[in-house]
Amino acid sequence: MNVTTVYYKSTISPDDMRELFKQHPQTTVLYFESPGSQTFEVQDIPALSAVAKEFDATTIVDNTWATPIFFDALRKGCDISVEAGTKYLSGHSDLLLGLVAANEKWFPAIKQAHMDFGSLAGNEDCFLALRGLRTMYIRVKEAERRGLEVARWVREQKCVLKVLHPAFETCPGHEAWKRDFTGSTGVFSFILQPEYTLEDVGRMLDNMKVFCMGYSWGGFESLIMHYDCTPFRTAEKFNPGGRLIRLSIGLEDVEDLKADLLQGFAWLDNK
């Protein structure tokens, strides 16, 4: 298909994005994930979308983290918004589904492509998604409350260097989040102090009792995962200063989650 991908810095300014378009005049699509799903930088989507329109490029955003409840992607300048319905829409980690929303310009083409390719979601998945939609607002608001409570607690632990959460002033793009988003969900990361090794992290994760290891999020269960983003950060160097761990806060008792993290942190030093 002769498609070429060019990556850009996660904190790129509109002026730098404009220069990047000039360097790659054949660009037809600008794709966002904001915030980043491991490092949680928030991009200035309205400004960057405006730059894309100067060059007649289409803008697509992965809006899975915020969901339309907390970020109205189309009204913020994006042409197309995609979302993993497997996560917060489902709420129960029991379906596979993707969603596409588009503006007036692009919706007819997407609908036609859907008909041409015959890509149909399973009827059971659609049934479960409609069930999840009825409680989604309450669940996402509760995920926000729980996520912030746990994130603030994690920030105070001695073994933690910093927390990556868009609602925190220290998070890159916090001002854009505060302006463009109406809330946050239950997924965030934290960086451990630099003395902890991958072996230490493995020992911690192996001994978690409530948190399970898993890549997804948005279900009823709390998940924990270690990430090393340095190999695939090609547009900029990524040096977090320590090991990165992502949490997805579920519906368990918050005090149980804190207690599990506390005993997990103890395993870091149990060499």
Q: What percent of the chain has pLDDT over 70?
A: 99
Choose which CATH entry (3.40.50.300, 3.30.497.10, 3.40.640.10, 2.102.10.10) describes domain 14-117.
Answer: 3.40.640.10
Architecture of domain 137-269: Alpha-Beta Complex (3.90)
Does the global pTM surpass 0.85? yes
Q: What percent of the chain has pLDDT over 90?
A: 90
Looking at every residue in the chain, the average pLDDT score rounds to: 95
Pairing of strands 58-62, 29-33: parallel
Determine the pLDDT at residue 67. 96
Q: Where are the domains of the chain?
A: 14-117, 137-269
**Domains 14-117 and 137-269 fall in the same CATH topology:** no
Triad 208, 35, 107: Cα angle to 5°: 120
pLDDT tens-digit readout, 75-91: 999 999 999 999 999 99
pLDDT over 90 at 150, yes or no = yes
